Structure 1
Amino acid sequence: MNDSQMKVRVQKFGNFLSSMVLPNIGAFIAWGLITALFIPTGFFPNEKFGSLVGPMVNYMLPLLIGYTGGRLIHGQRGGVVGTIATMGVIVGAPDTPMFLGAMIMGPLGAYVIKKFDQLIEGKVRTGFEMLVNNFSAGILGGALALLAFSGVGPAVSAFTSVLVSGVDWLLAAGLLPLTSILIEPAKILFLNNAINHGVLTPIGLEQVQQTGKSILFLLEANPGPGLGVLLGFMLFGKGIAKQSAPGAAIIHFFGGIHEIYFPYVLMKPMLLLAVIFGGMSGVFTLVLMGGGLVAPASPGSILAIAAVTPPEGMAYVANFAAVIVATTVSFLISAVVLKSSKQTDEDMEEATKKMEQMKGKKSSISREITSPATAGNDVFPENVQKIVFACDAGMGSSAMGASLLRKKVKEAGFGVTVTNTAISTIPTDSQIVITQEKLTPRAESKVPDAYHISVDNFLSSPEYDALIDRLQNGVTEEQNELVAESEAAVPHTEEDDQLLLEENVYLGQKFRTKEEAIRFAGQALVRGGYVEESYVDEMMKREEITTTYMGNNVAIPHGTEEAKKSVLKSGFTVVQVPNGVDFNGESAKMIFGIAGKDGTHLEILSGIAVICAEQENVDQLVNAKSAKELIAIINSN
């Protein structure tokens, strides 16, 4: 495994940890505010309200993390079983807030129930699905709770005690400032989530239980190091970097979006010294003056820090002093680096691209700041002529998205070529490439010079309207005439009518899992003579890459690019699921199984996309009482 692969894996692990914590930050803040206000040393001591503090940190927060982690692995069922398992570690170690335990048992519980569901898939008799579903979750969840109570809880408690003792030793030895040598570069490399939410937050909350505050919450959240760099560019920078630094400083300091300053550091790697020594000096100040917070400050805004600073002693003075000292040290070092630089103009665009490559996706906030109006055309292409939708196979989600955007482009009164393709065959001359957000890094590596847009809902994404707005000033009359001729509507043919047959429409179906629903749609394609049996397995592989849920209660499962060789002829199956089936937390009520060969399915798929772009049309499909009525609704566009 090379360094790049290792970095990506660490980033993914960090993202998974943060994905369990970040959705629940509001709950952490609520607990922190109640703690700061109502405990005996708070702003407004109140014994009755203060009694909320213990149950919230011991039960509410770990259960939320356990549920969220389970849901990430296996949807609602995973969340429920993960919560049951988390309760085992909570009760098994009542003296320790079980955040680490929740991060273990939540995903583990979901993984176990997911494997069980895969094992019994297709083997449960009709009418017994709910019985098996509920009892399997209860039995496995209960067993995991007992395991967690007996073994995992005490083990995690002991491990947490070791970590807390280690932090105490670093504090006593005066070595805690040295952690900035790891934390500050990790932030630039987007590895901070693994450190901050995986280690610092759980240990910090344990320290809060013991001392009422924790310095660990400020090791990564202190905005001082980044602010010092931005102040340095404001005074000693050049070109676009100097112009954009004031806006970036406001967003960073008051909004808490730290990634806004990353491109400035990447532009001059020597500035790593500024953020490292700035961070170290801030931590040293906190240790010296006894600073700390009662809850995580997320995002790392000065406003968030003020909100969760405990009222007792000199905490406010210590915390604000740490920010001021870190800013000052970082600024002084930045000033030396920038003043000694011989470069006449900093390349902000190149630095932002470098940051996005490390992050694995676009940074909209950095783009807005580092690409002001005078340089906007360097990012968004001029005279756009070619937009490409791309997905793994190029036959399903991308075709629907391209159909919808093509319609919006024509309605807007100008013409731009809008096509769809597989990621592996994206044309090198593509100006704008649109992909599902999880596939964007692959598309960027394929055509790095194109402008990339990520969407999470192909049927009703606000990115379409935003793109139309940006195109208004960049399309010429000549383009309109040329594309209008080349994109003349393809007439509906008798061959199209053979793609969507009444015998391939299945009404009133019920499924326990999306895997079961996808296999049902795939087997229907096999029975219809559209695909070989191996295509069904490729449909399952495609779903593992990224969900085929399109939005508006619609899913379009289909095979991978490799599966095209298993397609005998183009065809569709339509599966109506009135009660819905879970697709990664979304309810799919209309499932269109697709097999595409030589593009002959695209006209029908385009019609489905246009119809399903309106939720009321999808509701009509869900309520259709016959296959003939359902097909008539689809053909009504």
Structure 2
Amino acid sequence: MTTTSSPDATKPKGGARVGIQRFGAFLSGMVMPNISAFIAWGLITAFFIETGWTPVPQLGGFPGPDGTEYTGLVGPMIIYLLPLLLANMGGRLVYDTRGGVVGTIATVGVIVGTDIPMFLGAMVMGPLAAYLMKQVDRIWEGKIKAGFEMLVNNFSAGILAGIMAIVGYFAFGPAVEWISNVLEAGVDWLISLSLLPLVSILVEPGKILFLNNAINHGVFTPLGTQQAAEEGKSILFLIEANPGPGLGLLLAFAIFGVGMARASAPGAIIIQFFGGIHEIYFPYVLMKPLTVLAVIAGGMTGVATNVLFDSGLRAPAAPGSIIAVLIQTANDSYLGVVLSVVLSATVSFIIASIILRASRKKDLERENAGDLSAAIAQTEANKGKESSVLGGLQAEGVAAGGALVEEGERAAFEHKPIHTIVFACDAGMGSSAMGATVLRNKIKKAGIDSVKVTNQSIANLKDDVDLVITHQDLTDRAKLQSPSALHVSVENFMNSPKYDEVVHMLQSEGVR
């Protein structure tokens, strides 16, 4: 557990990994709030295009029986709606509503000036236009005479947005289209040489280190959506979202793991495979780093299977649940997609099992009360409620293992009253939402009503919260966003024994 108790504490230095994480979080902040729009487009495409489940010319945009041409919903949504949503969100992240409006207008020029869906262009132009608007506003900040504020603000935004739209049409759009074509050609080249499975060597470790958003939302989603618009499906949507490698890993821990890992793995399987929250298996890999080879091999197997069967999804599967994957699977791809999940899980399971079996004896010798406490917390979280029997076991584990919070950390908690607690992760959903629910239930059961527990993305953190809880790999970024807050690092949002310490500290402060 890591805490900081003073606003004057030295700010953590960002490193390459933190920088990439922040970039990935920004991209995720643009894509994730709009993922429902991508899903809606995927479902409309699956049902209503000419080769869909229930073709409808007026909705799918193909000639009707009488030869009448229809625009439909599919084309306008992917050409205009989705890129503009991304641009608006990107602009809002940089400069709130004003940035969103300017970024959206500027992106129209990029869209109209090209012949392909402009996702990459929207993800660049939206934030860029918002940033320029922010800098322009600073030029005359505090210098406008009273009564002219609205006039200056509206005209400056309109003029800049118009200029950026023109620049986007003549210069920015064609440049991004060229970059997009180069990236797509690179993917096609990898596929033609049967080398696409090698991408898993970067993707799977990247997921463990929370770097996957930069790859997935920055490259795979834009290119995959463009590819799906042209071919009706894309393999790129399955490179990162395939739940098979994580399933195989967790199955191996459930059978051959020890202590906390073995006890918690069955519940984690449900959350990962059906809920689509892949973060749940990251701590298992960090606990046994060599098992990263298992998920890499599983990921490569899944990609190779989809390449062999030419299978893919119509739209992003978000979250990466088997349910979302099957819903978005193209009509001709069910065999390949299902096999990719099954085979990737099998390969991951076999390799992880070999690794766990080889070190099982040493792992059994190292098992201690701390592991027991964490396993109990995970079991209760998976069960959805606390157990008096497990609570007794946890008390014994704490007694044997000593205090969970060191004196210095206890002093940090006592430094100021805690009324707001925020769980933060890259996207502000998924794992942080689960952790917030676990702690919220514990606080409620303790009879504390005045503490608000929420979850959000690290990029949206403000320096107005009392306590921030993050995964240990993300704490440095959270401290940059909220330097005055107390910070708690956990290894797993679902099974941290530190939550009981947080509740105890709140009770010791007399919070009710």
- Shorter-chain TM band: 0.7 to 0.9
Q: Is the 8 A contact 1:228 1:331 kept in 2?
A: yes
Change in CA separation of 1:113 and 1:367 when aligned onto 2, cut-off 3 Å: farther
Q: Please give the secondary structure, in 1, of the residue aligned with 2:173.
A: helix
Change in CA separation of 1:187 and 1:88 when aligned onto 2, cut-off 3 Å: same
Within the candidate set 285, 307, 330, 1:310 is matched to 330
1:92 aligns with 2:113: yes
Q: Which residue does 1:330 correspond to in 2?
A: 348
Query: Could you give the per-residue CA deviations for residues 310-361 of structure 1, whole angstroms, max 9, x where no partner exists?
Result: 12x2x1111011000000000000111111113234779999xxxxxxxxxx
Q: Which residue does 1:283 correspond to in 2?
A: 303
Deviation of the 1:268 alpha carbon? 1.2
Q: Which residue does 1:65 correspond to in 2?
A: 86
Amino acid at match of 2:113: G
Change in CA separation of 1:149 and 1:244 when aligned onto 2, cut-off 3 Å: same
Q: Is the 8 A contact 1:232 1:331 kept in 2?
A: yes
Q: Please give the secondary structure, in 2, of the residue aligned with 1:250.
A: helix
Distance 2:291 2:380 in 1: 21
Q: Which residue does 1:12 correspond to in 2?
A: 22
Q: Which has the larger radius of gyration?
A: 1
Q: Which residue does 1:434 correspond to in 2?
A: 467
Deviation of the 1:447 alpha carbon? 8.4
Q: Which residue does 2:255 correspond to in 1?
A: 235
Q: Which one has more relative contact order, counting CA pairs under 8 Å at least 6 apart?
A: 2
Deviation of the 1:307 alpha carbon? 1.1
Within the candidate set 115, 134, 140, 2:160 is matched to 140
Change in CA separation of 1:228 and 1:150 when aligned onto 2, cut-off 3 Å: same
Change in CA separation of 1:350 and 1:40 when aligned onto 2, cut-off 3 Å: farther
Within the candidate set 180, 183, 191, 2:200 is matched to 180
TM-score (normalised: structure 1): 0.60
1:343 aligns with 2:362: yes
Change in CA separation of 1:400 and 1:174 when aligned onto 2, cut-off 3 Å: closer
Amino acid at match of 2:314: V
Q: Is the 8 A contact 2:38 2:316 kept in 1?
A: yes
Distance 1:271 1:260 in 2: 15
1:274 aligns with 2:294: yes
Q: Which residue does 1:388 correspond to in 2?
A: 413
Deviation of the 1:162 alpha carbon? 1.2
Q: Which residue does 1:162 correspond to in 2?
A: 182
1:262 aligns with 2:286: no
Amino acid at match of 2:123: M
Matches within 5 A, 1:73-88: 73-88=94-109
Q: Is the 8 A contact 1:260 1:366 kept in 2?
A: no
Distance 2:378 2:127 in 1: 31
Change in CA separation of 1:234 and 1:192 when aligned onto 2, cut-off 3 Å: same
Change in CA separation of 1:246 and 1:348 when aligned onto 2, cut-off 3 Å: farther
1:215 aligns with 2:235: yes
Distance 1:265 1:37 in 2: 39
Distance 1:447 1:76 in 2: 30
Q: Which residue does 1:541 correspond to in 2?
A: none
TM-score (normalised: structure 2): 0.73
Distance 1:365 1:140 in 2: 52
Matches within 5 A, 1:234-633: 234-311=254-331, 313=332, 315-341=333-359, 342-345=361-364, 368=381, 374-375=393-394, 388=413, 434-435=467-468, 440-441=478-479, 470-471=503-504
Query: Could you give the per-residue CA deviations for residues 530-560 of structure 1, whole angstroms, max 9, x where no partner exists?
Result: xxxxxxxxxxxxxxxxxxxxxxxxxxxxxxx
Query: Could you give the per-residue CA deviations for residues 576-596 of structure 1, whole angstroms, max 9, x where no partner exists?
Result: xxxxxxxxxxxxxxxxxxxxx
Query: Could you give the per-residue CA deviations for residues 393-416 of structure 1, whole angstroms, max 9, x where no partner exists?
Result: x8xxx79869xxxxxx9xx999xx
For structure 1, list consecutive stretches of 5 or more residues without a partner in the other structure: 352-363, 403-408, 415-432, 455-465, 488-609, 611-637
Q: Please give the secondary structure, in 2, of the residue aligned with 1:88.
A: helix
Q: Please give the secondary structure, in 2, of the residue aligned with 1:170.
A: helix
Query: Could you give the per-residue CA deviations for residues 277-307 of structure 1, whole angstroms, max 9, x where no partner exists?
Result: 1011111110111110011111100001011
Q: Please give the secondary structure, in 2, of the residue aligned with 1:344.
A: helix
Distance 1:271 1:451 in 2: 21
Distance 1:348 1:326 in 2: 33
Change in CA separation of 1:413 and 1:240 when aligned onto 2, cut-off 3 Å: closer
Within the candidate set 192, 197, 222, 2:217 is matched to 197
Within the candidate set 137, 143, 147, 1:123 is matched to 143
Change in CA separation of 1:366 and 1:225 when aligned onto 2, cut-off 3 Å: farther
Q: Please give the secondary structure, in 2, of the residue aligned with 1:299.
A: coil
Distance 2:13 2:467 in 1: 29
Percent identical among aligned pairs is 51
Deviation of the 1:75 alpha carbon? 0.5
Matches within 5 A, 1:42-57: 42-50=52-60, 51-57=72-78
Amino acid at match of 1:333: I
Paired positions, count:
420
